[in-house]
Structure 1
Amino acid sequence: MRRYIPLLIIGLCVLFVVLASLLYMTQSVGKKQVADKFIPVTKTLTVYTTIPVEMASIIANEYQKEANIQVNFIPVSKDELLNHFQQDDIENIDMVLTDSRVLENLSDANKLTSNISEEEDIVNEQFKDKNNSWIGVWYDPIVFCYNLDYVKNNWHIPLTWDELAQNNNIKIGMTDFMVASAAANVLYSLSEDKNVENTMMLMQQIHPKVVRYAKYLSTPVRMVGMGEADIAVSVQSEAIRYINDNYPLNIIYPKDGTAYQLTAVGIVKDSKQQVEANHFIKWLLGDDVQISLQKNRYYYVPTNYTSLTYKEFAGKNIKFLAKNNIFDDNARKAILDEWVTNIRLKN
């Protein structure tokens, strides 16, 4: 028996060597596969933006995976953004992603470069600058968001702004025009469409039915979903978010037209990465970014009507009110002040 002990030891040593070799080869292959999958970032685009930080992070991560380019979003307020450009504090800034009105100001100041591509040419004229210095990538329309129980129990529901104002048996939730530009667009667009005097008369009729002027865009929709109001005058993105959470809601687009907030993008005139910035714009107009945003509960309507995500939205033929571009900042402030003084705070 003792003579087999050396053979047994030799056998165990051979087995150990074989197992060690297999383990090494497995680790080497695994490391090679990881190395093959990893692609180092080669370029960076720096973008001023006013969109939510979380949303910007989603876009940046998705584009880096797609194009091997890092998008460095710098979050700023609208006023801060404009101040940076006024003071020429824009070194190494390539692009701006923000509300279209901000880009209109930058275009007027000759801070953006003209840009056009086949994808951008598809976009409707109302969603882009006439000189191609910026282009809208998605928008968020104002909708009437009804509680389904209210719809079932009422043979007639308001389908227009005038019908909403004239209905005396309805409870309305809406965001305070003073705290959100997306909500205030209703006031400005109606003022351009119907003139300021008629709009104020309309708002005077609506005011007594308002259960609450909320501080956030989501609150009116939640109120309607909980049965605290019959209708919310709200942005569509919040309504869809609550519908996807199984709240009993239904969306209706005002037949006489609605307002919207347009998010747009432009390339800074002095950017040294014009080609890369243009590619990023093309990507923003595609489906990949919208799919990623929707997975993370951001629901906006693409301006590219040929995209698959655009075709999924029910309201593809929305009637829009005037673009509210005849009012400058002073005129808009005067309209808002009149609403606050003579309607919002007057009882």
Structure 2
Amino acid sequence: MNVKKLFKPMLASAVLAIGLAGCGANEKEAEPEKATPAPEKKEEQVVNVYTARHYEADDEVFKKFTEETDIKVNVVKGEAEELIERLKREGKSTEADLFITVDGGVLANAKNNDILQPVKSETIDKNVPEKFRDKDNNWIGMSTRARVIVYAKDRVKPEDLSTYEDLTSDKWKGKVLARSSTNMYNQSLLASFIELNGEKEAEKWSEGIVKNFARQPDGGDRDQAKAIAAGTGDVAIMNTYYVGLMANSAEPEEVKVAEGLGVFFPNQETNGTHVNISGIGLTKHSKHPQNATKLIEYITGKEAQEFLSANNYEFPVNAEAEMPELLKSWGEFKMQELNFDTLGEHNQKAIEIFNKTGWK
């Protein structure tokens, strides 16, 4: 047998087999490896707040929230209108997660400017009654304050008082004190009258108050209280929480002024006392919506609500929260029942009426 002839085909077969095996190995190596799924990115432990509320009590609540959750709260303070314009200008690039302000009209304005988005949370819905939330949950109430009649205890008896409308009667001529018509609290008060009583009655009321002014509007609510103490006037239209702040002030003069004041909730037999609201909205382009929602849940929870009420003398929106003794001492009262959005809807007309009637 010729061994060489037999070996040649065997060698060729072996070479072919090795080549095929090599090709198979190369093909295997060429296959791309399956990518490992990237871990889900955790939300940064921070929440950025734009607020028009400049209260130490709010700062303390933010601090307590951080201590309990390890979520840092960054705060930018400013005037409400400026912050709304800033949010509009910043658009998608904004760092703000929450917008906080006072006044239902301002909250409605923020919603109408499309800088907020609905908040979804069963905890918030439980903490805050529907009447203190936007119908679409674009903002959530955090506290309320009543705009009442404050009077000189030594010159006015509570039984002499009854309604906002009664302040326009002749018996109060030269005795009524109020701050400027440029103040949002007064604008929203008049806007509520427009909603409840119509424009004509609202204008009639403004005319009557102007007629009974003790002096031209000047200063803030504290200044109205001090003017009562000085004998300039006997009654003033004020927010309740200012009386609380003065009664617990570090300044002895303010404490003395508050001691001489009485608080009267008007219109208990008619439409109820005007109440305004502070609220929180989740910004449309929030980068940390989960953390922002957690902060709203915390602020509207029982503990934070009691702290705000005890330190800023506002009424809590959470019914489970206890009020401080001073607020309890004023007694329960009937509130106006209206949609807070209407305060914004009637704001321009309220300004027109003030201008027309000479309320400076």
Task: Tell me the TM-score normalized by structure 1.
Answer: 0.76
The answer as to whether partners of 1:53 and 1:75 remain within 8 angstroms in 2 is no
Give the deviation of 1:177 after TM superposition.
1.7
Unaligned segments of structure 1, at least 5 residues: 1-41
Q: Find out whether 1:278 has 2:293 as its counterpart.
A: yes
Q: Secondary structure at the match of 1:210?
A: coil
Q: Give the counterpart of 1:300 among 314, 332, 340.
A: 314
Give the deviation of 1:47 after TM superposition.
0.7
Closer, same or farther in 2 for the Cα pair 1:304/1:294, shift >3 Å?
closer
Q: Give the counterpart of 1:83 among 71, 85, 99.
A: 85
Whichever of the two has the greater Rg, that structure is 2
Closer, same or farther in 2 for the Cα pair 1:102/1:334, shift >3 Å?
closer
Alignment-mate amino acid for residue 104 of structure 1: A
Match of 2:281 in 1: 266
The correspondence of residues 221-232 of structure 1 with structure 2, limited to 5 A, is: 221-232=225-236
Distance of 1:261 and 1:85 partners within structure 2: 23
Give the deviation of 1:45 after TM superposition.
0.9
The answer as to whether partners of 2:46 and 2:288 remain within 8 angstroms in 1 is no
Q: Find out whether 1:113 has 2:115 as its counterpart.
A: no
Q: Find out whether 1:333 has 2:348 as its counterpart.
A: yes
Match of 1:191 in 2: 194
Give the deviation of 1:173 after TM superposition.
1.1
The answer as to whether partners of 2:116 and 2:281 remain within 8 angstroms in 1 is no
Q: Find out whether 1:242 has 2:246 as its counterpart.
A: yes
Q: Give the counterpart of 2:60 among 58, 65, 68.
A: 58
Q: Give the counterpart of 2:155 among 136, 150, 159.
A: 150
Q: Give the counterpart of 2:144 among 125, 128, 139.
A: 139
Alignment-mate amino acid for residue 304 of structure 1: N
Q: Find out whether 1:202 has 2:205 as its counterpart.
A: yes
Partner deviation per Cα, 1:263-310 (whole Å, 9 max, x = no partner) = 1112224334222222211221134434544565x2111111111238
Q: Secondary structure at the match of 2:144?
A: strand
Alignment-mate amino acid for residue 80 of structure 2: K
Distance of 2:338 and 2:136 partners within structure 1: 20
Q: Secondary structure at the match of 2:210?
A: helix
After TM superposition, where is structure 1 displaced by more than 6 Å over at least 4 residues in a row?
none
Give the deviation of 1:119 after TM superposition.
4.1
Distance of 1:267 and 1:143 partners within structure 2: 31
Q: Find out whether 1:252 has 2:264 as its counterpart.
A: yes
Partner deviation per Cα, 1:35-54 (whole Å, 9 max, x = no partner) = xxxxxxx8221011111164
Give the deviation of 1:214 after TM superposition.
2.2
Distance of 1:290 and 1:175 partners within structure 2: 28
Moved more, 232-241 or 119-128: 119-128
Distance of 1:304 and 1:336 partners within structure 2: 32
Alignment-mate amino acid for residue 65 of structure 1: E
Distance of 1:51 and 1:90 partners within structure 2: 23
Alignment-mate amino acid for residue 130 of structure 1: K
Partner deviation per Cα, 1:102-154 (whole Å, 9 max, x = no partner) = 44344442631332223433423221011222210101110111111123xx5
Partner deviation per Cα, 1:177-211 (whole Å, 9 max, x = no partner) = 21x21122111111221111111112222222211
Match of 1:320 in 2: 336
Unaligned segments of structure 2, at least 5 residues: 1-43, 249-254
Alignment-mate amino acid for residue 80 of structure 1: E
Name the count of aligned residue pairs.
299
Distance of 2:279 and 2:100 partners within structure 1: 6
Match of 2:47 in 1: 45
Higher RCO (C-alpha 8 Å, min separation 6): 2
RMSD across aligned C-alpha pairs, in angstroms? Answer: 2.8
Distance of 2:224 and 2:85 partners within structure 1: 33
Question: Identity percentage over the alignment?
Answer: 19
